[in-house]
Amino acid sequence: MTEHAHFHPLGTQPSPSTKAAQAAARAALPFDDERDHAEARRGFIAAPDYRQIMAEAGHVAWNIGAYDFLLGGEQFDSIHPSLQRQATLNMEYGLFEVVPNAIYQVRGFDLANITFVASDSGWIVFDPLTAAETAAAALALVGQHLGERPVVAVVYSHSHVDHFGGVRGVIDEADVRAGRVQVIAPIGFMDHAVAENVYSGNAMNRRAFYQYGVLLDRSPFGHVDQAIGKGVASGSVGLIAPTRYIADDIEELTVDGVRMVFQNTPGTEAPAEMNTWFPDLKAFWAAENIVATIHNIYTLRGALVRDALEWSRQINRALYEFGRDAEVMFASHSWPRWGNERIQEVMRVQRDTYGNLNNGVLHLANQGVTINQIHNRYEVPASLQKQWAARSYHGSVAHNARAVINRYLGYWDGNPTTLVPLSPEESAPLYVEMMGGAPAILSRGRALIDAGDYLLATEIVTKLVYAEPQNSDAKQLLADAFEQLGYQNESPSVRNSFLAAAFELRSGIPQGASPKSSGPDMIRALSTSQFLDVLGIRLNSAAAADSAFTINLITPDTGEQFVVELSNATLTNLAGYRADGADLTLTIDRANLELAMMGAEGLPHLIADGRAIAEGDLSVLQSLATMLVHFEVGFEIMPGTGGAALSPAMDDFEVEPLGDSSGG
């Protein structure tokens, strides 16, 4: 498979309304504050002589050169000026010094930064990127300019794949098993590294095509940035289990002469995450809790809603624990901040932005403002709007405000009409009929677009697209409105979503190499109970309606046992129990079960050659296999754009694809 196909939206230029909106933003925002530009360049040592990194599979894993159009100084009316500023800042590429002779970062090799902390005998690596290929290239660049040194430890700051997936590019698992390399992570890391995205993983992967714009053209009319970095590498994803967990709220650990104080921050940017203080260097590592953007409270790819108040509280704790003494603050994305006054300024700005988001939204909610109104009512305080560190690039004010209400009050706005709503394709024909049919809607939609009323245009044209999915004029018109909304949006996640939908409306679902978050390591990281949960999700209830059976599953090498029951078209499992009179008892080492989990070998083959022992009715395995659906990532989101049908998996218990957790 080749590199991202880089599809151009094939649509419209920025309209007069869009140009006017961009001009207003240029006039309103503090572009004379250029401190971020100086900080992003500070400490530059060298850039490699290449701008592409190849994947082991033969395609391009990473291509920062595709964004070189941002370096010419041109102001593009197809890009929100604040986003273009952020996108240009994220073009800094290469090896940077953070603390002389102690801390270095490679930036611009992936969505995240990879950090190298000098220890007595080697490097401690923080957050080894998404892919082995980009991480290995970063390590090679460090060796070239700073000298070859072994990696003695890896620290995963949190449980998102762009912070651990490249680990095999910097260390060998054999060295970990032999005790030569430590792997350190916050408590709960392994559970969350796979569980957050396993159960709805296929849907997350598909939605990530929108949030991350992975198959959009890299151009002023397409993908320009991802707020916390340029984008996600599409190479080999791995995972090596931690050897040491940080469990206490504040915990000190010395590794190869480097003293580190860890601050666990669960429930912030990730369910398992930790900051790190280097007391001897007066350096504070903010993980992904403090970067050069306000982050997602709700991430558009899909995930549990995060806690804005807890996020604010943990930043506040970091400020008072470490921030008053810090001389440099650096993170897994963006660029460092130097000087205590600057550090405290940024920490307070982000603390207050998350805190006000939570409190301000609930203040309005307690006066009756609903989830369907809040994004048009809540405003970030004016003093924060003038702070670059308070701009919502990775998140957006609108979808984060809705997320706060969703966290506390749920998705219902209190109107019984919306409690059990019709599906869009069910209600759309009535709307189209009442609006006078397709010609009337198209005419009014074009007039609204000409007037710059793009959201109003989408409101009515969407109804026509759902009612008549093959109406090409309707799809083209909706795409026109989506493009202008994308061009005007400051958040790349929102921009990408509009532009990806526009492309699919015009041309169907694109094909190309996209970032992966699954692979053998991720599948092995599933607990057996999680694996069985995934089978329950994959079960086609209609196919299982008349079936019932009980299986005892025993894994001698791990000392576990599970009872698995199919009844009432539902597959359940329970650890630590065994059913009397089960239809089948399957005894298999967990190591061999993993072969079936990955689809490498089917259970019948493992039974036939003695690596699994089956006592009872073997037909229940084949029956279960016929009931499992293999999820295809290319399902349709916009009506009439095509999509892959679901197909049953007949021969094995393949779990892939597991899902996507990149970038938060």
What average pLDDT score do residues 46-64 get?
Answer: 96
Q: What is the CATH number of the domain that holds 560?
A: 3.30.1050.10
Residue 87's pLDDT band, with cuts at 50, 70 and 90, is: very high
Residue 93 lies in a domain: yes
DSSP 129-172: -S-HHHHHHHHHHHHHHH----EEEEE--BSSGGGTTTGGGT--
Structure tokens at 541: 């209830």
Q: What are phi and psi of 392, to 5 degrees?
A: -95, 85
Residue 407 lies in a domain: no
Q: What is the CATH number of the domain that holds 357?
A: 3.60.15.30
Q: Which pLDDT value is given to residue 599?
A: 84
pLDDT at 536 over 70: yes
Structural domain including 290 reads: 16-390
pLDDT digits (tens, 9 = 90+) for 395-424: 999 999 999 999 999 999 999 999 999 999
Residues 6+ apart with CB under 8 A from 393: 82, 83, 86, 225, 227, 228, 292, 293, 294, 490, 491, 492
pLDDT digits (tens, 9 = 90+) for 357-402: 999 999 999 999 999 999 999 999 999 999 999 999 999 999 999 9
Residue 357 lies in a domain: yes
pLDDT digits (tens, 9 = 90+) for 299-344: 999 888 999 999 999 999 999 999 999 999 999 999 999 999 999 9
pLDDT at 663 over 60: no
Angle, vertex CA 67, rays to CA 64 and CA 70, nearest 5: 135
Q: Which pLDDT value is given to residue 649?
A: 32
Which amino acid is located at 368 in the chain? Answer: G
Residue 510 lies in a domain: no
Place of tokens 């694809």: 657
pLDDT digits (tens, 9 = 90+) for 99-126: 999 999 999 999 999 999 999 999 999 9
What average pLDDT score do residues 631-649 get?
Answer: 71
pLDDT at 440 over 50: yes
Q: Which pLDDT value is given to residue 516?
A: 58
Q: Which pLDDT value is given to residue 513?
A: 52
Residue 115 lies in a domain: yes
* CA atoms of 589 and 585, how far apart (whole Å): 13
* CA atoms of 276 and 318, how far apart (whole Å): 9
pLDDT at 188 over 70: yes
* CA atoms of 560 and 552, how far apart (whole Å): 11
Q: 92: phi > 0 → left, psi -120 to 50 → alpha, else beta; which?
A: beta
Please return the burial class of 72, using the count of CB atoms within 10 Å of its CB with bins 0-12, 13-18 and 19+. Answer: exposed
Which amino acid is located at 13 in the chain? Answer: Q
* CA atoms of 77 and 497, how far apart (whole Å): 18
Residue 439 lies in a domain: no
What does pLDDT average to over the chain?
Answer: 93
Domain boundary among 343, 375, 390: 390
**Range with lowest mean pLDDT among 4-18, 444-458, 475-489, 590-604:** 4-18
pTM: 0.93
Q: Which pLDDT value is given to residue 113?
A: 98
Q: Which pLDDT value is given to residue 11?
A: 59
Residue 456 lies in a domain: no
% of residues, the chain, pLDDT over 90: 87
Residue 437 lies in a domain: no
The closest of 116, 137, 128 to 60, measured between CA atoms, is 137
**Range with lowest mean pLDDT among 252-261, 272-281, 602-611:** 602-611
**Is the CB of residue 479 less than 8 Å from the CB of residue 443?**
no
pLDDT at 5 over 60: no
pLDDT digits (tens, 9 = 90+) for 131-175: 999 999 999 999 999 999 999 999 999 999 999 999 999 999 999
How many independent structural domains does the chain possess? 2
pLDDT at 196 over 80: no
Residues 6+ apart with CB under 8 A from 84: 70, 75, 76, 224
